């Protein structure tokens, strides 16, 4: 990061340190050798601030030239309207003297210009250096509503808020179901909507920051539609579309001694995927945090070929399995958490 000639030198310096994760220029100036030429080889995220009234290093020959040349997958150019070249830095006699000999001059104060830089630089660093994805969306929300700046941006990365994947309905009973999905890395909260497949009206609920939502008071023997979408920033300006429609059917009530009882919900549920395949599987478990699980793999002859004990640290987690060294055939997975025992069949091809 640098200002003026130091900003241009920042683009020259990147080639000497592959650990650098982003480059920021404050009214960067063209250098010799050319910063604009060096920028062509830059692939890391790039952010440039420019003053709209910069008469010392006019944008077309300096900051915007460097921006246009940058080969980064994500680059942003924030023009501070009415800002000058020297006001990005502390007051300096030489810079101020040079700026006084050209026009246009600044129409905002040094404090206002630097406040605008801080307003966008801090969330940018939170995202790039601390992996705080919601800060990126917060920055975008601010930029879209700020008349004090103008923006040029070209990004191919986390600027798209996508609907959650791996959506499944689990622990389905006569009156309840647990909806789960894979939470994206740049998501703040989620919304779920569901309905009977026979009606048009949706029930919409907020599921918060979790990757699951428990439905209750459902109707037995009924097919339901459901979808989930992501809100990627706290203000709700960046929201995904609804994910593709999923369905599940509640089980019918069973009679026991003349009394209808709903099926009991298990303390956990699991899937083995992909099944069948050549021996590389994963177990997707939805259960309770900090539960202890005992797992056994049994072949068709009843011989236990593997035992695994593990503890969960989240509701939804996966366990990898590799049985490429086992003969092709049918196998059974037995897993219990001290409350319930679940057996699933899988096939090694």
Q: Give the C-alpha separation, 275 to 156, whole Å.
A: 34
Q: Does domain 269-348 have CATH number 3.40.640.10?
A: no
Residue-level pLDDT at 259: 39
**Two domains, one topology: 2-155 and 165-261:** no
Q: CA dihedral in degrees (321, 214, 133, 42; nearest 10)?
A: 40
- Tell me which fold the domain 165-261 belongs to: Immunoglobulin-like (2.60.40)
pLDDT for the residue 254: 47
Q: What residues does each domain of the chain span? A: 2-155, 165-261, 269-348
How high is the pLDDT of residue 236? 72
Strands 149-155 and 74-80: antiparallel
**Radius of gyration of the chain from its Cα atoms, rounded to whole angstroms:** 29
CATH number for the region 2-155 comes to: 3.40.50.1820
> Cβ distance 297 to 329 under 8 Å?
no
In the numeric block, which tokens belong to residue 83?
């800002």
End-to-end CA distance of the chain: 55
- 67 closest CA partner among 103, 98, 35: 35
Closest CA to 175 of 254, 86, 287: 254
| Residues with Cβ within 8 Å of residue 244, at least 6 apart in sequence | 163, 167, 227
Q: What is the pLDDT of residue 160?
A: 64
Phi, psi of 305 (to 5 degrees): -105, -10
Low-confidence ranges of the chain (pLDDT < 70): 156-160, 185, 253-267, 289
Cis peptide before 244 (omega within 30 of 0): no
The predicted structure's pLDDT at residue 213: 93
pLDDT value at position 258? 36
At 32 the pLDDT is 95
């Amino acid at each position: 990061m640098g200002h003026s000639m130091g900003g241009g030198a920042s683009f020259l310096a990147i080639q000497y340190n592959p650990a650098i994760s982003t480059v920021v220029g404050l009214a960067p100036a063209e250098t010799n050798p050319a910063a604009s030429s060096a920028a062509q080889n830059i692939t890391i995220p790039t952010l440039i601030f420019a003053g709209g009234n910069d008469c010392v290093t006019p944008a077309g020959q300096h900051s915007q030239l460097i921006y246009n040349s940058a080969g980064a997958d994500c680059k942003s150019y924030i023009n501070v309207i009415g800002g000058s070249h020297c006001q990005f830095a502390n007051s300096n006699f030489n810079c101020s003297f040079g700026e006084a000999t050209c026009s246009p001059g600044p129409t905002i104060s040094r404090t206002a210009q630097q406040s605008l830089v801080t307003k966008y630089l801090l969330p940018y660093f939170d995202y790039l250096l601390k992996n705080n994805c919601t800060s990126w969306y917060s920055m975008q929300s601010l930029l879209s509503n700020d008349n004090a700046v103008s923006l040029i941006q070209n990004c191919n990365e986390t600027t798209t808020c996508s609907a959650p994947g791996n959506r499944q309905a689990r622990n389905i009973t006569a009156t309840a179901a647990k909806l789960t999905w894979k939470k994206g890395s740049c998501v703040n909260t989620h919304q779920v909507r569901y309905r009977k497949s026979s009606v048009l009206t949706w029930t919409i609920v907020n599921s918060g920051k979790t990757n699951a939502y428990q439905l209750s008071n459902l109707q037995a023997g009924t097919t339901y539609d459901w979808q989930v979408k992501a809100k990627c920033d706290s203000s709700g300006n960046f929201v995904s579309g609804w994910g593709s429609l999923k369905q599940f059917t509640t089980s019918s009530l069973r009679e026991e001694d003349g009394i209808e009882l709903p099926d009991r919900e298990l303390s956990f549920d699991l899937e083995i995927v992909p099944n069948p395949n050549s021996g590389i599987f994963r177990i997707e478990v939805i259960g309770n945090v900090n539960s202890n699980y005992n797992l056994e793999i049994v072949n068709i002859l009843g011989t236990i070929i593997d035992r695994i004990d593990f503890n969960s640290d989240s509701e939804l987690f996966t366990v990898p399995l590799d049985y490429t060294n086992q003969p092709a055939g049918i196998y059974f997975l037995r897993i219990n958490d001290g409350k319930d025992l679940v057996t699933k069949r899988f096939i090694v091809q």
